[in-house]
Structure 1
Amino acid sequence: MPQEIERKFLVTGEYKSQAYAQNHIVQGYISSARGRTVRVRIRDDKGYLTIKGASNESGTSRYEWEKEIPLNEAEELMRICEPGIIDKTRYLVRSGKHVFEVDEFYGGNDGLVVAEVELASEDEPFEKPAFIGREVTGDIRYYNSQLMKHPFNTWE
């Protein structure tokens, strides 16, 4: 079963000059039920359908299945998504032998910037770039499926 193992951090420093690639991402959720989400994503000019399972106790690992789908099908599926769309730019930054995905959010989540690093195991060591701040792995408020329901700019 495919597992996604990742850690998530707030971003507190400059990262754009270190990025080797960037993509515009718009995504919605057909289902955002806790423990099982079905996401539709348009990344630049490609469509994707992703199913994610419940996170483990630490919030580091969970089942993930993703398939590329035709762009027109992704656009059609976006029309039946739950209210609240995630709009962001993703920057890819190398650090040691890992790549950090830095997401800069827009709309109701404007001002939020988070970085994720995918790992082969939960205890795999990695080099933190200077722009990495507090770890928020396992804090469900920072899950995209929650940000679309409770945007960052509505938090107290």
Structure 2
Amino acid sequence: MQPSDLPHRHVLTAPTVPASVRLARQTAEMTFASWGIHAAHPAMGPALLILSEVVTNSVRHAAALSPSLTVTLAAGDDTLAFAVHDRHPYHPGIVTAAGGSGGLATIAEVTAGIGGTCVLRQDADGGGKSVWTTLPLGRTKEQR
């Protein structure tokens, strides 16, 4: 299933400034809770860590060429997905835990550790990119 196929979706556009890390995290917490994915859910800690790290990367590395960033949140019965998009043309390549150190390696390690995926998608015009993360929710029937 593609993130665009998920029934729940919310988009936040924010300036590429440090305060947007907290804004993105708080927006995600409130949005996920409104969809029934509460703070105690096992996927929430990793999701918020990954989201914070990706937004921080955009703030640190893309602000000069991308005055804003976009956070897309999506969810379905068994999947949580989110993306951070900026318009800086630098594309760091494939995200793997073994591929290095720092933010992207941390993102890849945490994502893989809970059975998720993380993909970098370059904009069609080459002028920006999105980091899409998909995590399993593993909900029981009682949680749905």
Q: Shared fold (TM-score greater than 0.5)? A: no
Tell me which of the two structures has the higher relative contact order, counting C-alpha pairs closer than 8 angstroms and 6 or more residues apart: 1
Larger radius of gyration between Structure 1 and Structure 2: 1
Higher helix content, 1 or 2: 2
TM-score, scaled to structure 1: 0.28
TM-score, scaled to structure 2: 0.30
Higher strand content, 1 or 2: 1
